[in-house]
Chains A and B, each alone.
Chain A
């Protein structure tokens, strides 16, 4: 199978029929089977499609699949025309506007559709972005960079390191803010990672994603992107934050603190929530409304403290009734440096887990406790079970999100090999990941 055929997605009988007819994707073809005749443009097959059907786009615009049988004949009636996409004229940057770097890591924050084949083409350059989201020309001068093209579940701590370095480079060049386009699934983890690795930030770093793909008219991508760029250009704070829809409406974008944000819904636009913390600010009609008074002020003269290293030998373990403690032994054997437990309620695991934990602590593994309740603070002095765990050497991690605690411990072991120092750091509020007060929800 050659490259072109591979890209067509066809396999088996369907591929054989196409090969025999010497037709390519985009060609106008006629398919005859008994008395039935269908004409249309040959369309690529999804990789999950079966081997028996050929897809054509009818003149009406509809796609249909036609089954290939021994008496099906395909012939080419016209050569396909390559889509002639004329690059939009490059728009002038307004030198008076703030300079914003946009780092793309994957997903499509902006794209166009090829209605002829159904292909979706991402907009990647600054001028592409301008042409798809023209509102941006009036907000900032953009410097667009494609760092990766990754689905967010394929992002690892190594990518966090790269991202932190890329942000640092842009800051050294003197931008007024940085926007990072990111797939939403692990955006919360990345936000936490950047919060720890980009310390003493002079300008804001805003992560942004979309819950509806950018090829749809109803996509939240453009609104979120505009909100993120406005935030990067205008917010008074210099922190890592996530910009997404505040509600199901398109009316406002909310900025969450990088260490306090979590994806809490599989599909809604407002999937991201600030947990155990107030959101930072709201962007409405391109204006910033601050929601907290406590933040690090934007200051171009401040020197960024870049600490981009992470150690992947840290595990997140969610406890459940009847769980086999051998999993903890396995991590110890594999020389993991730290384990974050996602315990029940105020921070508990069953007593059948104690032995494994004792063994881990004896092997110098740092064990921290968070809660699978997500909301609230662990309180390990309330019940005997909690006090037992503390006595075993488990560290209570206050109101830290389990995911944030995991990322933090990875980052800590990227900075130090000293277990005692690591324990101290884990307990210390480094970048807003621990709050001393738990406030009633608004």
Chain B
């Protein structure tokens, strides 16, 4: 079924988070890099929700705290210092990051603030060792052009990236690695003016292009993350946090709309059945006895551990829980997500999906009797220790009551297939207070003027210039533009006099192919690229030698281009040597030439090239071979 997004009143706002490629982190002098090895340092912390003056604390955060949640932080000395460990006050705001953000802001016609004030935004899920994220607005009221449409930018901010979760939660301990903590992030927030799934991607692409135009956007998976807030007229305001792949955006929006429409329908259906929120009672039945002889493996395991099976009656919910909202996702999934979050249980069972999983029709009937369920009712049950089981069922009651109301406002996390799962309730108004450890920074008119005067080109302008100035076709120009070597491209072409198409094709297609073959391109410095092309331009090396040289350099990190050439034996062959070699090849293949006449050229060419790939210029081989063949005939 095609959805008329206009008609259902879809409104999407985007928040793009892009890591910046600065030399140090935002509030300390650590290298903004991740590590893969085992951590050198670990430490255990708790985060206590601070009460605001109004006595409010984030309910989800407080719940986690009460449950005794502990965070095990992992660190390594090369990428973290005491600042990330929250053991030393932050250093002043990284100026380079401010300048990059200002550049991006001015490219989007935003108005820089006169004085930057760093704020603390309370986040106590463990992703920040301090319990807050440091963030500041750099500019307000910008815009980006997407096709014919002007999308308003609410603000351009600069913030510290959070620690990253590693591994699963075990026994109330979650693991976070603090290498990522403190990497500068630009945040660009649009007004909720996006009206369709595809438009979400187009806007994200446009903003991503502007950010990359600064030349200082980090690249690779996880360096750009999109948050979406999505609402439809009769639905709720749902925030989806941390979509990493651009391609996924339209799907995420589409599924979320489907989910909200499905929930609206469920709400209507329940009300038609005469349901009110107060009809669902928080009454839990111990039905452990019903399953004493069960063949269901999950339940057996729980019973072995002496856990209980608690059940809850959901009046008039029969056949509602199994209604599909997104692919493979039902109201039951939503209830299970909540039960997992609040009750820390593995999952829930509900009668809409039974008998199954080894649970018999007889057991389902007895279960119904035990909770006095009637025909139209559904029963949800869960096996765990009594505290977890009760918390889980309470969460199910809460979710069932919300189902009667419609779509709950909440924060969700994306899954790789574009569907989403419950993450936590939507936080109230942003709880921010000043970061008093960092003095405010003034942005003067001179600063703005200086940066405005040397703004990089916007993607569209640059594309046109690349095509015109370097005679690249649109595809190749686009590839250069999107690549992180777009600046290097121009430098190389200007320095080396190698043909622009050769340089462009190498920096985009060849490197991509090498990367696919697991050559670690990132280990090659820009200087090395320039040097290699310099040699090609000077006729000391042929372009065919490029892949081998790059491969060798990536494996011999501290070695230079000259050493690569020598080690690989790629030193260009002199014309005299080449003539001799070709003469020898002709001599060896006399018979072949006599049989094939003109057609033998191709065969001989490939024989010579195979022997000498990377050491000779193909055009020269062809010329000499043709001459010699003429003589030989």
Contacts and interface: CB of A to CB of B under 8 A. Distances in A.
Contacts of B136: 62
Interface residues of B, number: 53
A217 B48 contact: yes
Contacts of B167: none
A138 to B, nearest CB: 13
A237 to B, nearest CB: 27
Contacts of B533: none
Contacts of A112: 50-53, 55
Interface in B168-218: none
Interface in B437-463: 439-440, 442
Could you tell me the dominant secondary structure of chain A's interface residues? loop
B183 to A, nearest CB: 19
A132 interface: yes
B115 A114 contact: no
A131 interface: yes
Contacts of A111: 50
Given A50-B442, A217-B131, A218-B131, A62 B46 contact: no
Contact of A115 (B52, B70, B140, B157): B52
B115 A115 contact: no
A27 to B, nearest CB: 17
Contacts of A60: 137, 154-155, 430
B155 A218 contact: no
B117 A65 contact: yes
B117 A217 contact: no
A303 interface: no
Interface stretch (A179-187, A244-252, A304-312): A244-252
Interface string B26-60: 00000000000000000111111111111100000
Interface residues of A, number: 53
Contacts of B135: 62
B86 A218 contact: yes
Given A64-B117, A65-B116, A218-B131, A251 B52 contact: no
Interface in A56-77: 58, 60-67
Nearest to A83: B53
Nearest to A248: B43
Contacts of B434: 43, 63, 118
B131 A62 contact: no
B82 interface: yes
A64 B44 contact: no
A36 interface: yes
B131 A88 contact: no
Nearest to B428: A115
Interface stretch (B121-129, B276-284, B364-372, B616-624): B121-129
Contacts of A50: 442
A46 B124 contact: no
A302 interface: no
A268 to B, nearest CB: 5
A165 interface: no
A78 interface: no
B143 to A, nearest CB: 14
A218 B43 CA distance: 13
A218 to B, nearest CB: 4
Contacts of B87: 248, 267-269
Interface in A235-281: 247-251, 266-269
B48 A267 contact: no
B45 A250 contact: yes
Contacts of B82: 267-268
Contact of B49 (A53, A118, A212, A217): A217
B114 A53 contact: yes
Given A65-B116, A217-B130, A219-B48, A249 B43 contact: yes
A14 to B, nearest CB: 11
B117 A63 contact: yes
A137 to B, nearest CB: 14
A216 B132 contact: yes
A128 to B, nearest CB: 10
Nearest to B131: A217
B115 A113 contact: no
A260 to B, nearest CB: 24
A46 B88 CA distance: 22
Task: Pick from B114, B116, B122, B131 the residue with the most CB of A within 10 Å.
Answer: B114
Contacts of A53: 114-115, 440, 442
Given A61-B430, A118-B434, A216-B131, A49 B48 contact: no
Nearest to A223: B46
Contacts of B121: 61
Contacts, number: 147
B55 A217 contact: no
Contact of A55 (B88, B115, B154, B155): B115
Contacts of B85: 248
B433 A113 contact: yes
Contacts of A49: 440
Contact of B132 (A46, A67, A217): A217
B119 interface: yes
B431 A61 contact: yes
A114 B89 CA distance: 22
A183 B364 CA distance: 63
A121 interface: yes
B436 interface: yes
A301 interface: no
A218 B117 contact: no
A95 B82 CA distance: 43
B43 A247 contact: yes
A436 interface: no
Contact of B53 (A55, A115, A131): A115
B51 A217 contact: no
Contact of A116 (B53, B120, B124): B53
B540 interface: no
Contacts of A251: 44
Interface string B245-271: 000000000000000000000000000
A115 B55 contact: no
Interface in B56-106: 70, 82, 85-89
Contacts of A269: 87
B52 A114 contact: yes
A119 interface: yes
Contacts of A216: 50, 120, 130-132
A84 interface: yes
A217 B50 contact: yes
Contacts of B55: 85-86, 88, 112
Contacts of A118: 433-434
Given A64-B117, A65-B440, A85 B130 contact: no
B60 to A, nearest CB: 13
A113 B50 CA distance: 7
Nearest to A221: B48
B1 interface: no
Contacts of A62: 117, 119, 135-137, 155, 157, 432
B119 A66 contact: no
B334 interface: no
Contacts of A85: 53-55
A217 B86 CA distance: 11
B119 A63 contact: yes
B89 A115 contact: no
A65 B113 contact: yes
Contacts of B86: 212, 218
Given A61-B119, A115-B432, A217-B47, 11 more contacts: A55-B115, A55-B117, A58-B137, A62-B137, A64-B115, A113-B53, A115-B53, A121-B53, A218-B129, A219-B50, A250-B70
10 contacts: A43-B434, A49-B440, A60-B154, A62-B117, A63-B119, A112-B50, A131-B51, A217-B122, A218-B47, A250-B45
The 5 closest A-B pairs by CB, nearest first: A217-B131, A65-B115, A114-B53, A61-B430, A61-B432
Interface of B: 43-55, 70, 82, 85-89, 111, 113-117, 119-122, 124, 129-132, 135-137, 140-141, 154-155, 157, 429-434, 436, 439-440, 442
